[in-house]
Amino acid sequence: MSRIAYVNGAYVPTAEAFVHIDDRGYQFADGVYEGVSIRHGKLIDLEPHLDRLWRSMGELQIIAPMERGPMRLVLAEVVRRNRIKDGFLYLQITRGVAPRDHPFPAETPWPAMVVTAKRLNFDASIEKALTKGVAASSQPDIRWGRCDIKSTSLLPNILAKQAAREAGGFEAVMYDKDGYVTEGSSTNIWMVDAEGTLVTRSTSDNILPGITRATVKTIAEELQIKVEERAFTLDEAKDAAEMFLTSSTSCAMPIVTLDGQRIGDGTPGPVAKRLIEAYKAFMDA
């Protein structure tokens, strides 16, 4: 947790950082967020994160609390004040404070903005990715029809992640009513087929357009690994040569078992390992 948080214009010690009980984020999850990884003190892929944030706000008609320039300064200041070298920055913007009523308030409130940051050990997580990977558990995707918006309304994701944890998995691999994998509860999901082609669901297909997903796709293309964007079923995934997940906190992490069934030989595969090394180089550049 941050020792210093940014809350609506002020940098305050976390213990003194509060939001209003009528904040629509608290009442209705009427807000959006971004999570950005910090490596060597630098915010990774900040511009695509800001693009996605602006898109999420636009889709929900939440006004930006500040322009992008000042926002970059606030984010950098939170990293600096917390002296974070490797970690994770969390940024949340809600529609603001208004008496509880479902429609947008007649008088548009000023949006509320909170930024925190915490330490993460990326070297340990990269080491784990290269040597161990994680177990995953399939869970039905019970979310709404706008998963492209990075909304703070995450209850279905929380339930999926919790069910996965209770089943011994690190992440939930969510699937739709036709048995096709959508994404993880907080990650994008990939497989490598028998020909070595990387496969991941298309972002036009009602999933969150992951920033790590986009960077890993570019890296794969640079490495001349073939990438196909299409839906694949759980059964196909279980028969795949490799599986892995991507997210800002996990980078690329091999999934070595799904529902207790080994993927490939049950260890991190060669394609995932190449991508992890290349993603690490990208973060270190």
Query: Is 118 among the catalytic positions?
Result: no
Measured between alpha carbons, how far is residue 224 from residues 5, 36, 162, 202, 219 in Å? 42, 27, 37, 19, 9
> What residues line the site for ligand PMP (CB under 6 A)?
35, 157, 183, 186-188, 208, 210-213, 246-248
Burial class (CB in 10 A: 0-12, 13-18, 19+), 8: middle
Residue 80 Cβ, how far from ligand PMP at the closest point, in Å?
22
Cβ atoms of 271 and 242 closer than 8 Å: yes
Closer CB to ligand PMP, 4 or 252, in the complex: 252
Residue 161 Cβ, how far from ligand PMP at the closest point, in Å?
10
Closer CB to ligand PMP, 27 or 246, in the complex: 246
Residue 169 Cβ, how far from ligand PMP at the closest point, in Å?
16
Catalytic residue, from 85, 132, 150, 238: name it. Answer: 150
Separation of alpha carbons 126 and 119, rounded Å: 15
Closer CB to ligand PMP, 12 or 227, in the complex: 227
Separation of alpha carbons 92 and 49, rounded Å: 12
84 forms beta bridges with none
Closer CB to ligand PMP, 98 or 150, in the complex: 150
Residue 9 Cβ, how far from ligand PMP at the closest point, in Å?
26
Cβ atoms of 43 and 86 closer than 8 Å: no
CA dihedral 211, 212, 217, 222 (to 10 degrees): 110
Which residues have a catalytic role annotated? 150
